[in-house]
Chain A
Amino acid sequence: AQSVTQLGSHVSVSEGALVLLRCNYSSSVPPYLFWYVQYPNQGLQLLLKYTSAATLVKGINGFEAEFKKSETSFHLTKPSAHMSDAAEYFCAVGYSSASKIIFGSGTRLSIRP
Chain B
Amino acid sequence: EAGVTQFPSHSVIEKGQTVTLRCDPISGHDNLYWYRRVMGKEIKFLLHFVKESKQDESGMPNNRFLAERTGGTYSTLKVQPAELEDSGVYFCASSPLQMLDTDTQYFGPGTRLTVL
Contact = CB atoms under 8 A, between A and B. Distances in A.
A and B co-occur in one complex: yes
A34 B91 CA distance: 17
Contacts, number: 56
Contact of A98 (B3, B91, B95): B95
Contacts of A36: 107
B20 interface: no
Interface in B83-109: 91, 93, 95, 97, 99, 101-109
B104 A43 contact: no
A98 B99 contact: yes
Interface residues of A, number: 23
Interface in B34-82: 35, 41-45, 48, 56, 58-59
- Tell me what chain A mostly uses at the interface: helix, strand, loop, or mixed: loop
B104 A103 contact: no
30 contacts: A36-B107, A42-B109, A43-B4, A43-B107, A43-B108, A43-B109, A43-B110, A44-B91, A44-B93, A44-B107, A45-B107, A46-B104, A46-B106, A51-B101, A53-B101, A97-B95, A97-B99, A97-B101, A97-B103, A100-B45, A100-B48, A100-B58, A101-B33, A101-B35, A101-B45, A103-B35, A103-B42, A103-B44, A105-B41, A105-B42
Interface of A: 4, 34, 36, 41-46, 49, 51, 53, 90, 97-106
